[in-house]
Amino acid sequence: MPSFRCKMTTPEGKVVQRRFFASSKAALKEELEREGNFVLEINRAEPVGEILRLGAIKKPIKTKHFLAFNQEFLVLIKAGLPILSALDAIIEKGGNPEFVDILKEIRNDVAGGESLSTAFSRFRHIFSGLYVATLRAGEKSGNLAYALDRHIEYLKKMEEIRKKVVSASVYPVILTVVSLFALIFLLAYVVPTFTKTYFEAGTKLPALTLALVHFTTGFRQNIVLILALFLAAVLGFYYAKRTETGAVHLDRAKLRIPFFGQLFLHYYVSRFARTLAMVLAGGIPLLEAVRISAGTLRNRFMREKLDEVTHLLEQGEGFSRSLSKVSVLPGLALRMIDAGENSGAMEDVLLDLAEFYESDVETRLAILTSAIEPGLMIIMGLLIGFVVLAMYLPIFQMASTVV
């Protein structure tokens, strides 16, 4: 991640020079101006020493590490330690070397007079806009501990839901893969072995067994082509996901998968609603809050749609009307947000909306566990049973003939 040195005028009217990490000059300029700064100059800064190592960190810190840091930070702040002392204590404790290096940079910036949120915002590729906004809200309100506490609860809730989705999806995938390998083993090794024995014995094969033999022969003769097509499909999927257009189409297709599409959609809606409620509670304006909340979603199709919402908001459209125009949320969510906007209770409505869809996600996961997993086992059992029956059918026929 490249670093840039920026000269700008802050919303308070101060001219300052700071170093930021960002994907490009244009992205950095847009982000800074969105925060109310006036950018005077941006130049590429060649990272040296520790900064070089920091610039090499391209992915956000793992949630469990980030959660542990915030919990420690919150305890120290509640105990009455100044921010610098709290950061020193966490740095001294050690841990992830790369994260500690980042905290040292942040600590130095704070010691130099920067606010905590500004110091964290320099590492935009690591810390989300949501976290920076949380810190900024805590600084403005004078209650940083409360803001951190809310963010920790948010992280725990999101991680809890994510784990439920992952754990419910893992077992069916493992079961399917294992069953497919068992089926391939039967077709590639067991069936040819039986076939050879039957042909050498001159056994007349029944239609079911003969059909399986022809299928297996074709499968073995074209195994290279099948593997090549499978590899091409995997690589095509991988490269398509790496392009913006391809990722948008794939994420859109994900939302249209029967049963699973609704599960993913409701998970994203609950995450967006809960994030938006928390950001609005921190005093962030609606337009910026929607941008921050959209940025927490991993579905690029939904992020693209929510970007359209922000453009409509910039043009003066109401929030619920903007959401209706882009058709990004379910009808129930739109009606609830419209009611919240009209009543002035947007934050409460968003939290109710998040809890409703989180409950729906949990219900669908329970259905997935109780119905789909046994269904997969039955399907795979029938396929494998069919292969075994087709192979043993000639033996049963010979036994009945002898009798």
Stretch 145-167: mean pLDDT: 86
At the topology level, CATH places domain 63-155 in Receptor-associated Protein (1.20.81)
How high does pLDDT run on average in the chain? 84
At the topology level, CATH places domain 178-402 in Receptor-associated Protein (1.20.81)
**19 and 121 in contact (C-beta within 8 Å)?**
no
* pLDDT over 80 at 401, yes or no: no
Least confident of 13-22, 102-111, 220-229, 304-313: 13-22
Q: Which of 91, 129, 125 has the alpha carbon at shortest distance from 111?
A: 91
Nearest-angstrom CA–CA distance, 31 and 371: 47
Single-letter amino acid, residue 264: F
**87 and 106 in contact (C-beta within 8 Å)?**
yes
pLDDT at 55: 47
* pLDDT over 50 at 48, yes or no: no
Nearest-angstrom CA–CA distance, 17 and 95: 31
pLDDT digits (tens, 9 = 90+) for 121-151: 888 778 888 888 889 888 888 889 988 998 8
Nearest-angstrom CA–CA distance, 203 and 197: 9
Confidence tier at 59 by pLDDT (50, 70, 90): low
pLDDT at 52: 37
The pair of structure tokens assigned to 184 is 């391939």
| 284: enclosing H helix or E strand | none
Least confident of 58-62, 158-162, 324-328, 395-399: 58-62
pLDDT at 402: 52
- Order of strands across the sheet that contains 15-21: 15-21, 3-9, 38-45
pLDDT at 8: 84
* pLDDT over 90 at 356, yes or no: yes
Confidence tier at 76 by pLDDT (50, 70, 90): very high
Report how far Cα 229 is from the mean position of its chain's Cα atoms. 28
The pair of structure tokens assigned to 95 is 């841990």
Stretch 336-356: mean pLDDT: 91
**90 and 76 in contact (C-beta within 8 Å)?**
yes
**329 and 269 in contact (C-beta within 8 Å)?**
yes
Three-state DSSP class for residue 6: strand
The terminus-to-terminus CA distance of the chain in angstroms comes to 78
Three-state DSSP class for residue 320: helix
Residues in Cβ contact with 318 at an 8 Å cutoff, skipping those fewer than 6 apart: 341
Stretch 344-354: mean pLDDT: 91
Stretch 328-357: mean pLDDT: 91
Beta bridge partners of 18: 6
Please tell me which of 125-134, 178-187, 341-350, 365-374 the model is most confident about, judged by mean pLDDT. 341-350
Residues in Cβ contact with 373 at an 8 Å cutoff, skipping those fewer than 6 apart: 171, 172, 175
Stretch 105-125: mean pLDDT: 85
Q: Quick check: do 63-155 and 178-402 share a fold?
A: yes
pLDDT at 53: 42
* Of 322 and 164, more confident: 322
The structural domains of the chain, with segments of one domain joined by +, span: 3-44, 63-155, 178-402
* pLDDT over 60 at 47, yes or no: no
pLDDT digits (tens, 9 = 90+) for 196-245: 888 877 778 888 888 888 888 888 888 889 889 989 998 988 888 888 88
* pLDDT over 50 at 252, yes or no: yes
Report how far Cα 159 is from the mean position of its chain's Cα atoms. 11
pLDDT digits (tens, 9 = 90+) for 63-73: 788 888 999 99
Confidence tier at 49 by pLDDT (50, 70, 90): very low
The pair of structure tokens assigned to 161 is 């839901």
Q: Hunting for tokens 């992830």 — which residue is that?
A: 96
Enter the pTM of the model. 0.69
Beta bridge partners of 5: 19, 43
Give ∠ CA 262-265-267 in degrees, rounded to 5. 110
| 307: enclosing H helix or E strand | helix 300-314
pLDDT at 121: 85
